[in-house]
Amino acid sequence: MTTNGQVKTKYAFYPGCVSKGGCPELYEAVVQVAEKLGFELDDKALESAGCTGAGVLSKEVSDPINARTFAMAEAAGLEIMTICSTCQGIMTQAHHRLKDEEYRAMINRDFLAEEGLEYKGTTVIRHMLWAIVEDFGLDKLKSMVKRPLNGLPIAHFYGCYMKRPPELMVPKEFAKTRKTALEDVIEALGGKAVKTSGRGKCCGFPILTSNEDNSMAMLGDHTLDAKAKGVKAMVTPCPLCHLQLDGKQADAEAHKQEEIDMPVFHLPQLVGLALGFTPKEMNLQRHLVSTKSIEEELGIGVEVKA
């Protein structure tokens, strides 16, 4: 579909719990950036979908809940777009199990039929990062950049679920686009993607409840390694990583007895800044670690509060 020369792609939007809870700034950034890119986000198709289970709920109950979500997107004839690595990972794993016809038939019969739903196994689930690289295209993104990131050294932090299990998350047919999707976006925006040891690792968020010390050690290691490599900011496609990298950074500083001061962007915020949105529009003021240093590097004037 083309509108004003732009490829318009419509998705069944699945924002996930966190973008509506702990990270409202993510939701708002996604909506604005998607509109600018010409993505049409249908927020009705999955309006009544449930939580993916986030790896906390047993698969025995989260698989039927996810099958229900897939069935709704299938009925609407749309691909699902997620904006959270964890949602994406858990859905992809459920999607994979539901390829088994016997299993799918059981879920349809025992859980979905009563509501008049049936999942036929065809739904595609794509994270916004992949949608940008695969559906929209990096060249087009590049051409829309109004405020290039000026070679700013930025660390890509994928989070666990965008990369693993690799045979599901980065299958052969997508190896070209997904292996370096985040690095490629950073570069398309004019930044310099810097490899750090934590880039594909766990941020530590899942064990905050059970072992905070280990969780802080992981967070501290990843952010300090980035700092040692001259990184000025990190970017992540996962709001749970953001809750940890940004939200708990002060605790990691206390744990490591060392200043970290590493601004962390949600993926669409970084894209948005480069496309010309203001820090206020991207709600950067909501971060716990200030992003002022980056705004200054990019020559963005200090915002006057409206």
Partner 1 sequence: MEVKFAVKRYDPITNADKSTQTYTAEVDEGDMVLDALLQIRDEQDPTLAFRGSCRTGFCGDCTMTVNGKGAIACRTKVKKAWDGAEDGAIELEPLKMSRQMKDLVYNAREFHWNKFRAVEPWVDPVQPPEKGEHLVPGGHDKHLTESMRCTQCGLCDQGCTVLVVDKTFVGPAALTKAYRVVADERDSRKRQRLDKLSLPRGMWDCTHCFEASEHCPKYIEPTDRIFDLHDMAIKAEAGPPKVVHHYKSFAASVKAHGWLDEGRLAIETEGFTNVKGLMKLLPLAVKAGLKGKHPMPYMLHKKRPGHEQIKRIFEKWESKG
Binding site for partner 1 (CB under 8 A): 17-18, 20-25, 47-51, 53-61, 64-65, 68, 110-111, 114-115, 160-161, 164-166, 201-202, 204-207, 209-211, 213-214, 217-218, 221, 247-248, 283, 285-288
Residue 20 or 120 having the CB closest to partner 1:
20
Reduced to 3 states (helix: H, G, I; strand: E, B; else coil), residue 7 is strand
Task: State the residue for tokens 């699945």.
Answer: 14
Cis status, amide bond into 165, omega within 30 of 0: yes
Residue 17 or 75 having the CB closest to partner 1:
17
How many Cβ atoms are within 10 Å of 281's Cβ, its own excluded? 16
Q: How far apart are CA 222 and CA 296, in angstroms?
A: 24
Cβ pair 119, 107 in contact under 8 A: yes
Residue 146 or 305 having the CB closest to partner 1:
305
CB of 251 to partner 1, least distance (A): 8
Q: How far apart are CA 107 and CA 70, in angstroms?
A: 12
Residue 148 or 206 having the CB closest to partner 1:
206
CB of 265 to partner 1, least distance (A): 15
CB of 235 to partner 1, least distance (A): 18
CB of 131 to partner 1, least distance (A): 22
Residue 9 or 123 having the CB closest to partner 1:
123
Q: How far apart are CA 32 and CA 269, in angstroms?
A: 10
CB of 206 to partner 1, least distance (A): 4
Residues β-bridged to residue 125: 80
